[in-house]
Amino acid sequence: MHKNEYRPPDRSRKQRFLTEDDIKKGKKSKWTELEITGPVRALSPALWNLHHLTALYLNDNYLQRLPAEVSLLTNLLHLDLSSNKLRSLPSELGNMLHLRELLLNHNQLRVLPYELGRLFQLQKLGLDSNPLQPEIYEIWCQPNGTSELIRHLLDNMPHPMEQPQRQWISLEEPSNPTSCLFSVMCYNVLSDKYCTRQMYGYSPSWCLRWEHRQRLIFEEMFTYDADVLCLQEVETCEFNNTFLPELRKHGYMGVFSPKSRAKTMIESESQNVDGCAIFWKTEKFLLLENHTFEFNQLAIKNSGGDQDILNRVMTKDNVAVAVVLKTMKGQEDTQEIVVCNTHMHWDPEFSDVKMIQTFLLTTELDRVIRQMGRKPTDVPVILCGDYNSLPSSGVTEFVKEGKVELNHPEFQRFNYNKKLVKMNPKNGEVFWQFRFCFNLFSYLPELMPFTNYTYDFKGIIDYIYHSSPHLKTIGILGGLDDSYRRSVVGFPNPVIPSDHLCLLSEFELLPSSVR
Q: Give catalytic residues, as residue numbers.
A: 386
> In what side-by-side order are the strands of the sheet with 228-235?
166-170, 471-480, 503-509, 180-188, 228-235, 274-281, 252-258
Residue of 479, 495, 475 whose CA lies nearest to 171: 475
Q: Quick one: 380 exposed, middle or buried, by C-beta within 10 A (0-12, 13-18, 19+)?
A: buried
- How many Cβ atoms are within 10 Å of 114's Cβ, its own excluded? 17
Contact 96, 74 (CB under 8 A): yes
Angle at alpha carbon of residue 195, lines to 447 and 113, rounded to 5° = 90
Rg (CA), the chain: 28
Q: Quick one: 25 exposed, middle or buried, by C-beta within 10 A (0-12, 13-18, 19+)?
A: exposed
* CA distances in angstroms from 138 to 111, 133, 152, 498, listed in the order given: 13, 9, 12, 33
Q: Which helix (H) or strand (E) holds 228?
A: strand 228-235
Contacts of 112 (CB under 8 A, 6+ apart): 89, 132, 136, 153
- How many Cβ atoms are within 10 Å of 472's Cβ, its own excluded? 20
- Output DSSP code: residue 407: T
Checking phi first, is residue 4 left (phi over 0); if not, alpha (psi -120 to 50) or beta?
Answer: alpha
Angle at alpha carbon of residue 276, lines to 272 and 279, rounded to 5° = 115
Rounded to whole angstroms, how far apart are CA atoms 47 and 60?
Answer: 18
Rounded to whole angstroms, how far apart are CA atoms 237 and 243?
Answer: 9
> Where are the alpha helices (H) located in 41-103, listed in sequence order?
none
